[in-house]
Amino acid sequence: MNLLDAIFQGILQGLTEFLPVSSSGHLAIYQHITGITENNLAFSVMLHIGTLAAVVTVYIKLIIKLFASVVSIIKKIFKRQFKWSEMTAEENLAMMIFVGLLPLFLLFLPIPGTGLKLKDLADKFTQDGYFFIVGLSLVTTGLLLFFGNKKQQQIKVIDGKRYRKKKRKRYTVADAIVVGVTQCAAAICPGLSRSGSTLAASQLRGLDKRTALDYSFLLGTPAILAAAVLEIKDVFSSEGGFSSINPAYVVIGMVCAGLVGFFAILLFRWLLSTNRMYIFILYTAGIGLTILLISIIELASGANLFTQQPLNF
């Protein structure tokens, strides 16, 4: 790895982690085209930490309020004063984030007869022979964004006047579970954007778009942290570990990922508020359909169209 590689990977991570285009999908496309599958796990961990810093920076005030709300809930429970129906907005959000994270345990369920867990499918689906999964997932991202955006634009007519239907700003347990399961699906399928699919799932449930986006990013923060912790464990068990990369490149990559991630979040919020989601809808659907076409050609020939190597299943 050289300096340009570190900068490029940091920028790519910051952009695709938060914009609804799927970082895992773009990594799979890059590996498929170039044939380069080696991934520096230690460097990947540090880039995730950089993007995590971006979320914390944008939402620091709300995160502090959420921690205070958790303390408040615990105190009320011990004093037997807690009532679900009387939770404040911040207490409700904190509780719904906790509920939304519970489906992540589904990723550790074993797949009968395979010796694999659900989370292991993510690595399997990045193999050449499953390139069509990336295409299908990107098209699915585009469709989810389309229907979620359409739900936000719903109009009702009262006394001959047109009004945009008012959306909810508080999550229910059912909302949180649906979004949590969607996040699990995004963790398995490269090309299914985590931020985009969870945003759309909330919108389809009738949540306000800004509330939905904030929940998506906040729900993803513990998930990113958990992934980084698990990857760190793998790094220390692997040969070389953190000593295999230049510390200066690590810092530069992290800074790039953090800075680009910070502005990517702000950009996403602006595009959503100004009803410009069609940019991501067209992009993910277009690139997804292109990949599906390439996959059909490859499955028919039995070889990678770019590297000419036999497909790996």
Span 81-127, pLDDT tens digits: 999 989 999 999 999 999 999 999 999 999 998 889 999 999 899 88
Query: Which helix (H) or strand (E) segment is 163 a member of?
Result: strand 161-164
- Is 309 contained in some domain? no
Contact between residue 198 and residue 219 where contact means Cβ atoms under 8 Å apart: yes
Centre a 10 Å sphere on the Cβ of residue 26 and count the other Cβ atoms it contains: 20
Domain span including residue 201? 3-301
- Is 307 contained in some domain? no
| Cα 98 from chain centroid (whole Å) | 17
Centre a 10 Å sphere on the Cβ of residue 208 and count the other Cβ atoms it contains: 17
pLDDT at 213: 96
- Is 311 contained in some domain? no
| Number of domains, the chain | 1
In this structure, which long-range contacts are made by residues 13-16, counting pairs with CB atoms below 8 Å and at least 24 apart in sequence? 13/47, 13/48, 13/50, 13/51, 13/253, 13/257, 13/260, 13/261, 14/50, 14/51, 14/54, 14/256, 14/257, 14/258, 14/259, 14/260, 14/261, 14/262, 14/264, 15/260, 15/261, 15/264
For the entire predicted model, the pTM comes to 0.91
pLDDT at 300: 96
Q: Rounded CA gap, 135 and 295, in Å? A: 8
Query: pLDDT per residue over 125-145, tens digit each?
Result: 988 899 999 999 999 999 999
- Is 141 contained in some domain? yes
Residue 194's φ and ψ, nearest 5 degrees, are -65, -50
- Is 306 contained in some domain? no
Question: Residue with structure tokens 């009702």?
Answer: 156
Mean pLDDT of 186-193: 95
- Is 256 contained in some domain? yes
- Is 308 contained in some domain? no
Query: pLDDT per residue over 47-68, tens digit each?
Result: 888 999 999 999 999 999 999 9
- Is 310 contained in some domain? no
Q: Rounded CA gap, 79 and 30, in Å? A: 55
